[in-house]
Amino acid sequence: MSIVSIDRWLEGHPLVQELVALKETAWFNPAVQPAAVALADVGLTREDVADVSARLGRFAPYIARVFPQTEPVGGIIESPIQAVPRMQEAISTRYGLPLPGQLWLKLDSHLPISGSIKARGGIYEVLKHAEDLALAEGLLSTDDDYSKLDSDEVRAFFRQYRIAVGSTGNLGMSIGIMSATLGFDVTVHMSADARQWKKDKLRSHGVTVVEHASDYSVAVTEGRKQAEQDSACHFIDDENSTSLFLGYAVAAGRLKSQVADAGVVVDAEHPLFVYLPCGVGGGPGGVAFGLKLAFGDAVHCIFAEPTHSPCMLLGVYTGLHDEISVQDFGIDNITAADGLAVGRPSGFVGKAMQRLIDGYYTISDEEMYALLALLEQQEGIRLEPSALAGVPGIARILSADQEAYRQRLQLSAEALANATHLAWATGGSMVPDDEMAAYLAKGRAALGETAQ
């Protein structure tokens, strides 16, 4: 991107100026269309998601066997939802704003195996690759009980194949642990922001971890390079993979059953707002695609990014998508929210989903820490910083600044009183105790400094 064009974006667009100044900001896209119109943009269908769901069902007996913690739920990797009324009250007080409706969390932080949203897409893509190879070799048929994959013979077969991925941490954890369990020879290219405990944990599973001194984009490029030179190596492409995307989308149909079981109504008069922390976009994009298929126009999806890494907001707002990075605008992509430390958005999510995502906002690291401590204080739930990005979403859309958005969507006071707000809590249950203690200490300090 040339300096001239950057200057042009800066001059004519106060929103871009705010992003560059690292201010918390929000943008609600006036080009959003009804699901019936815009779902066609995605190029993937309800049947594709059903196919993924069926494949995960076939693998369930295997998952239950190799990850015994999933046995009670039949080997299905899923997380609970939880209402957080005390947190809602505390946020209302913190922002000095009445917050009608009900705030819930989706606890992907507590997903088994890797403790983050990446246990959805990441694990799915590895399973799909394993199934393809085993079917082609005649080691497996789709009618089999897949727990037979837990054998030395099968592991020796997979050992001939390599898997590579670039990651800020959590994707590497999911792909690494799942691949190594199946028997694959797996390499994770970690960006500089990846936490040491994640690298240590992977190495203890026999995963090769390559540490890069630069950010996520470079880690991905290196992984891609490794795979290009090796026909037995499958590269998991977080920037472009539709398989990952579909793995995330399965969450929505399951969420539909969970909200129904909880007695929560979702329809035009009872809207559902879902706040999704966004890095490269595959996770939130895939979940949002599934949500639109499951709930249509009754669901409103909003993406949340760190003030230092607003790659999706910038890409969609400018229409330049993956042609630009936040660094092109002088934004450093340095954030404590390591799962969201991505400077350039996915090559397809922003384009495919832009007419289905209501809006985007940014949040400072300090606010993520403050909310991290507040959530632990109010509800006893411990999350990693990235996972807090969606929590203030309820206050963002209800703030006086967003009157135009609410009017455009014809959200009446009555509908807002009946609304459900779901913040996707994307990670944190596997953070080691000493690391969590440090997060909480930072959070309490941030809370103290900003108390009203």
Ligand X SMILES: *Cc1c(COP(=O)(O)O)cnc(C)c1O
Q: List contacts with ligand X (CB under 6 A).
A: 116-118, 170, 277-284, 339-340, 342, 384, 386-387, 426-427
Q: How many CA atoms lie within 13 A of 125 on its CB side?
A: 28
Min dist CB 291 to ligand X, Å, is: 15
Min dist CB 426 to ligand X, Å, is: 3
Min dist CB 117 to ligand X, Å, is: 5
Min dist CB 49 to ligand X, Å, is: 17
Min dist CB 369 to ligand X, Å, is: 15
Q: Considering the complex, state which of residue 357 and residue 387 has its C-beta at the smaller distance from ligand X.
A: 387
Task: With beta carbons less than 8 A apart as the criterion, state whether 429 and 125 touch.
Answer: no
Min dist CB 338 to ligand X, Å, is: 7
Pairing of strands 185-190, 208-211: parallel
* Residues β-bridged to residue 106: 81, 424
d(CA 319, CA 312): 10
Task: With beta carbons less than 8 A apart as the criterion, state whether 188 and 212 touch.
Answer: no
- Per 3-state DSSP, what percentage of the chain is helix, strand, and coil (rounded to 5)? 55, 15, 30
As to burial, measured by CB atoms within 10 angstroms (0-12 exposed, 13-18 middle, 19+ buried), residue 13 is middle
Min dist CB 26 to ligand X, Å, is: 18
Residues 6+ apart with CB under 8 A from 338: 168, 169, 193, 194, 195, 384, 385, 386
Q: Considering the complex, state which of residue 337 and residue 447 has its C-beta at the smaller distance from ligand X.
A: 337
Min dist CB 171 to ligand X, Å, is: 6
Q: Considering the complex, state which of residue 185 and residue 193 has its C-beta at the smaller distance from ligand X.
A: 193
Residues 6+ apart with CB under 8 A from 25: 15, 18, 19, 361, 362
Q: Considering the complex, state which of residue 79 and residue 386 has its C-beta at the smaller distance from ligand X.
A: 386
- Return the SS3 of 82: strand
d(CA 280, CA 340): 7
As to burial, measured by CB atoms within 10 angstroms (0-12 exposed, 13-18 middle, 19+ buried), residue 301 is buried
Strands (E), 25-73: 26-28
Query: Amino acid identity, residue 181?
Result: T
Min dist CB 108 to ligand X, Å, is: 8
Q: Considering the complex, state which of residue 364 and residue 386 has its C-beta at the smaller distance from ligand X.
A: 386
Task: With beta carbons less than 8 A apart as the criterion, state whether 282 and 349 touch.
Answer: yes
